[in-house]
Amino acid sequence: MTFRHIVAIALLAGGFAGTAGLVHAQGTDIVAAREDGMKATAKNAKAIKTALDAGADLAPLTANAQEIAAWGHKIPSMFPPGSDTGKTEALPAVWTHKADFDKHAGDLSAAADKLAVALAANDAGAAKAAFTATGQVCAACHRSYREKKK
Ligand code: HEC
């Protein structure tokens, strides 16, 4: 084996290791980022629930519902191919049924948009109904696509 061969093999091996490292780092980051996004969404939902239960002024919670809607728009891009490994609770079905998964994400935005309108109008009745509907979208998606079903 010539020196040139050794260099070529070393470069090749380094290239592979580098690519694998990159894919891995990216996979880990995206899982952490989407779990943070879900947690933020749960916090927004909790803030709205607290206000509803307390009979508080609802208009200030409009932004929380808008954030949930925005997250719904973002969900599809947070589950790219290859991000199914590592510390994820996402089930393989996310990637085998991506169109249906994305539809659930769209449902979340639609439900949260309605919730935002009801909150902005300080309409407690409509807001409670929209909040329940939003929660049902979370649960429906988790049932099919998340290890923990709640
Ligand atoms: C389109 C499907 C979908 C919708 C809609 C959805 N989720 Fe999730 N959620 C998931 C998946 C998949 C995971 C697992 C993500 C992972 O671990 O990679 C998850 C994880 C979570 C987690 C755990 C995050 C962590 O720290 O690991 C929480 C909390 C959560 N979701 C809350 C919510 C709430 C609240 C809603 C509704 C307002 C919601 N989700 C709507 C699919 C969805």
Q: Which atom of ligand 1 is nearest to the CA of 76?
A: 1
Atom 12 in ligand 1: residue holding the nearest Cα: 90
pLDDT digits (tens, 9 = 90+) for 33-44: 999 999 999 999
- φ, ψ dihedrals at 88, nearest 5°: -100, 145
Crossing angle of helices 62-74/3-54, nearest 10°?
150
pLDDT at 22: 43
pLDDT for residue 127 is more than 80: yes
Choose between 4 and 147: higher pLDDT.
147
Q: What is the pLDDT of residue 16?
A: 38
SS3 assignment for the chain: CCHHHHHHHHHHHHHHHHHHHHHHHHHHHHHHHHHHHHHHHHHHHHHHHHHHHHCCCCHHHHHHHHHHHHHHHHHHHHCCCCCCCCCCCECCHHHHCHHHHHHHHHHHHHHHHHHHHHHHCCCHHHHHHHHHHHHHHHHHHHHHHECCCC
With a 6 Å cutoff on the Cβ, whether 30 touches ligand 1 is no
Q: Is residue 85 pLDDT above 60, yes or no?
A: yes
**Domains (range + CATH), the chain:** 3-145 (1.20.120.10)
Output the pLDDT for position 150: 59
Burial class (CB in 10 A: 0-12, 13-18, 19+), 87: exposed
Query: Ligand 1 pocket: which of 146, 147, 149, 150 to mutate (most atoms <8 Å of CB)?
Result: 146
Is the minimum distance from the CB of 109 to ligand 1 under 6 angstroms?
no
